[in-house]
Every structure is written in C-alpha cells, then in structure tokens.
Structure 1
Amino acid sequence: MTAGPLLFARYAYPPNALGYCGPGDSAELLEYAGSGVSDRGLAAIAERFLGAWPYLSLIAAASGREPLDTAVVEAYWVGNHLLDNVPGSLLAAHLTDRFDSRVDHGLTDPIRLALLGGRPHHNFHVFAVYPWTGLLRAGPAAEPLRVLDSCRISWGTVLDVDAGAADVQLRPLHYDNGRLRLGDPVVRRLLVGSRGYRLAHNVRTGDRVSVHWNWICDVLSGHQLVELQTATTTLLGLVNHALGRPAVGSALEGTHCD
C-alpha cells in the first residue's frame, strides 16, 4: 500500500506543475513521487495545498485519522468508505466557513449541493466549488469543459505504454442538452513520467489507471475503480439535478470501465 504522503504527491503534482494549485515546488513533488521517499518535507509541501488540505483535514477529523493517512488521501482523490463519515450538513458547514463570502449562491451553490448529497471528494470540488460548471451556461462551453474534464479525477484502460507516455482509452466529459455526461470512449496519449521520474510505477498494458491533468497518477484496483466511478456518477447527477436538468442517473451502468 502506498504511503499517504506519496499518494497525495501522485495526484497533486499534475496541476501543481501547471501552476494551478499548491506551492511552487513541483519539481520536488515529482521527485518525491518518483523516488518513493516520504518524509516531513513532503508532508510540509502537502499542507501548503490550500484547496486539498482542508478537505483532507475534514475527512481525517470525522474519521479519527491523520490528514495524510493513506485511506484519507484515497478518499479525497478516488473515494472510499471514509466519505460516509462526513454528512452533508458537516460538509456544508465546512464550505460555509471556507467559501461563503466568495461563492455564487445560484443553482450550483456548493453549500446547497453539499446538503443535497455532496461529499468531500476532489470531483465535488471540481464540479461544485470551482466556477467552471456555471460558466458552461454563460457562453462558449469548450474551455470550461476542457478544464472540468482535465481537473476531475478520471480513469481509463492502458492500451500501450512506453518510457514517458501511454495510450489510454477513457470516456471524456461532454456537455450537451444542458447536462454533463461521460461520452463514448476515445484514446488519448497521456504522460507517465518526466525527467526520469514516474507518478505511477509499473504501468502495464491492460491496467486501469486514474488520470489527472493528462497524467497517469496510479494503477487502480477493481475496488478503487468502482469507488471512483460511483463518486463521479453521483456528483454528475447531483450537479445536473441542481442545474434543473435531467440527472445523469446511471451514466456508467452497462459499461465495463472503459
């Protein structure tokens, strides 16, 4: 089992390398993830991710664990049973404390969505807290959709892999008829490593992997894959319902985790 701080580094590095979140230590974060070294320096970097760290602290406090406990980190990025320890009312209070003065209290108000069934999962933050879902309706949808699809934690099947990249079949996010949904499978070329370091080690053809900002972050077990699918389906349905559109419902039913 991957140590919690290293698991955090795997998922946090891709947006950090783009300058989107966290401190300016992306090269160090990649080195930690690639070398497998976990120490107080890595923990200190993780605490400076002002978007993710409060969610980790919330899950940890509700579960009697530490924020960088492996199960806590997994709950936030992928999903697991610890999310059930944070009821909607507690998440709403957390969001009120953090964002109430800055959020748009419209149809996609994250505090309202928390009370309707949100969970402290990264994809909730992407779909409900970030402004991009609301921007889909405000004008051209291409750029908001690209950001939502890149920033969410998604999954795919590795078709081919080489030293620095892999061909992965996955289902991209689509927006049509006023709703978000997962489209038909496509193949994308994704990063596996850079500068001699990899986020996910021993990636092989046929593996089911998690994806964040065009990077393969980890090889998923069957259970982890189901948890990520379930969290994504639930959150898409919640957001679509809040937008006053038909919910996604069983968008992933009948698939084989493409």
Structure 2
Amino acid sequence: MGEPGPGGRTAAGRASGRARGQHAGALLFARYAYPPNAMGYCGPDAAGELLERAAGGVDGADDGLRWLARGFEGAWPYLELIAAANGIRDPLDRRVVEAYWIGNALLDRVPAAMTAASLEHRFRDRTGERSWERLVAAVPGAQPHHSFHVFGVYPWLGLLRAGRLDEPLLVLDRCRIRWGQVVAVVEDHAVVRSRPLEWDGRVLHEGEPRDEDVVVARDGHGLAGPLDPGDWCALHWDWVCERLDRRRLVALQTRSRRQLAVVNALPFPAPAGVLA
C-alpha cells in the first residue's frame, strides 16, 4: 500500500482522484452533446453508445467516451481554446467543459485575439470574405461559450432576420443551452417551465415562461439523474441534461444573455454566412 501524502492521501488515491476528475469532465460533455447527436446534427454516429456511457456515471466513463468527444468538430476546438488560454492541459477537464456549456470564470481569461485566431483557422475559408468580416465584428464581445456558436456562428439568426421565422427560431431556442424549473416528472418525461426565445422583428429576447414536455430518460438511460418538482435544470434540444445549483444557473443565464446581446447589437443582416 502506498504511503500517505499531504492530507493523508496515498499516491494511488491521488491518481484515482485525478482519473475520476478527468472522467467527470468527459461525462459532463456527453450529457450536453448527446441530444443533438441523437438527432444527427453533430458528432460521430454513435448516439446509442454515447447515451449509455453518459448515463453510466463517472464509474462508467472511460477513454472511449473521451474518443467520442473528439468527434464533435464544432465543440472540441472551443474546449481546446479555453484549456490553452487557462494553462489547462486537458480539454475535457471538468472546469473547461463547464465553461463551454454553462459558463464560468475561465471564459474571462480567453483573450479576444485567441478567439479570433481560432475562428479564423476554422471558418475563414468556408465563409467567404464578406461573411468572415461580419463574424469578426462579433468577436470583441464574444466568448467561447456554446451560446456564441449558436447565435453568432450558425446562420439561423441571419435567416431569421431575412424573414424565415419558424425553423430558425425553433433551432435557435432548442440548440442553445436553456434553463427551466421542473413542474412535474412522469416516468421518462418531465414538465419544465422555461422562457422560450421570441423574435420581435428586430432582436431575439426571452419570452414569458411556459411549460414544455422534455425527455428525462430513454430505455432506462437518463442524463440528469433523479429530478424533483422545483429543481432547476439545463436543457438541450428536448432533453434534461443535468440539475443546476444556484451558482451554475446564474452562470448559464448571465453568459447566455451576454452573447445574445452581442449578436443583437450587430448591424448586419447576418453575423456569418451559412456554415455546415
């Protein structure tokens, strides 16, 4: 048996703790990545495996889950960017993953120049010069948060401004990570009260609260664990991804609203061209 180190923990215990921390980040990533993956929007063609691993908890997470995470070409570069700017070696460190999906102080330490360089490497050749200039205009206020990718990089806000209403508004609302409060849980579904995005002809804004039916589990596999009425939770597409404590709820609200304000303030008909 190893000798106890500082705080009474053995070397083996510290290594086990690091491994669990690494797996926790991969697990958190999977919880948010699974809903769009199941719809065929992003990531590898492995939705069933991703759900099983995400539902298995930290003890069920392994290097296979980390490999799947690398297949999300939209999200992975943001994780690398956040990690690099903060001197964190692992893009699947739980703090990094939380920064991208929910938001935390790591985002404030990513210089705008680094964000611009990352976006240029990924998108400049794909957008064309005119659309690239419009995307660059959003960078000074942007952070590598999932909501920026949804509002500022994807073409849906531009399509909304061009007069196509139903599909773009639905995608913008569902693709962002939104928050809500559980009203009731019935078997594999829950009723959650949330505020949908609305379009007033000029800007996107949060509408009045309304109840929506969302998925808690499928075939016995869930992402968020047990839910009770009154719990606050994070939603991605039609799934509950996890419960939120007060700190993380406020972080998600604050970071999402910041990015929405950035793109609402742009004078262009679209912040970027159509991106695959």
Q: TM-score, normalised by structure 2?
A: 0.85
Number of residue pairs aligned between Structure 1 and Structure 2: 244
Q: 2:56 matched to 1:32? A: no
Structure 1 residue 146 and structure 2 residue 167: aligned? no
Match of residue 80 from structure 2: 57
SS of the residue 1:127 aligns to: helix
Q: 1:13 & 1:33 partners in 2: Cα distance?
A: 8
Q: For residues 133 and 117 of structure 2, what CA distance do their matches in structure 1 show?
A: 16
Q: Deviations over 1:156-186 (max 9, x none)?
A: 0000012201000000000113100000000
Q: Could you tell me which residue of structure 1 aligns to residue 4 of structure 2?
A: none
Match of 1:97 in 2: 121
| Cα RMSD (Å) | 1.7
Shift of 1:90: 1.2
1:11 match: secondary structure: helix
What is the match of residue 193 of structure 2?
169
Equivalent residue for 1:67? 91
Structure 1 residue aligned with 2:149:
125
Q: CA deviation at 1:89?
A: 1.6
Counterpart amino acid of residue 44 in structure 1:
W
My pick for the range that moved more, 235-244 or 70-79, is: 235-244
Partner SS state of residue 42, structure 2: coil
Question: Helix, strand or coil: the match of 1:24?
Answer: coil
Q: Are residue 243 (structure 1) and residue 267 (structure 2) matched? A: yes
The match for 2:66 among 34, 43, 58 is 43
Q: Specify every segment of 5 or more residues in structure 1 that has no aligned partner in the other structure, as ranges.
A: 246-258
Residues in 2 aligned to 1:107 and 1:49: alpha-carbon distance in whole angstroms: 22
Amino acid of the residue matched to residue 46 of structure 2? D
Confirm whether residue 225 of structure 1 aligns to residue 249 of structure 2: yes
- For 1:13, the equivalent position in structure 2 comes to 34
> How far 1:110 moved relative to its partner?
2.5
The code of the aligned residue for 1:242 comes to L
Structure 1 letter corresponding to 2:249: L
Structure 1 residue runs of 4 or more that deviate by more than 3 Å after TM superposition: 104-108
Tell me which residue corresponds to 1:111. 136
Q: CA separation of 1:52/1:13 partners in 2, compared to 1, >3 Å: closer, same or farther? A: same
- CA distance in structure 1 between the aligned counterparts of 2:243 and 2:119, rounded to whole angstroms: 31
CA contact (8 A) 2:31 2:223 kept: yes
The answer (yes or no) to whether the contact 1:200–1:218 under 8 Å persists in 2 is yes
Secondary structure in structure 1 of the residue aligned to 2:44:
coil
Q: Which amino acid aligns with 1:95?
A: L
State the TM-score, normalizing by the size of structure 1.
0.91
Aligned to 1:254: none
Query: Which digits, 9 at most, give the CA deviation of each residue in 1:162-218, with x for residues without a partner?
Result: 220100000000011310000000000000010110010021110110000110001
Secondary structure of 1:203 counterpart? coil
Match of 2:205 among 172, 181, 185: 181
Q: Which secondary structure does the structure 1 equivalent of 2:265 belong to?
A: helix
| Distance (whole Å) between structure 2 residues aligned to residue 80 and residue 17 of structure 1 | 27
Whether the 8 Å contact between 1:209 and 1:217 is mirrored in structure 2 is yes
Q: Which has more radius of gyration? A: 2
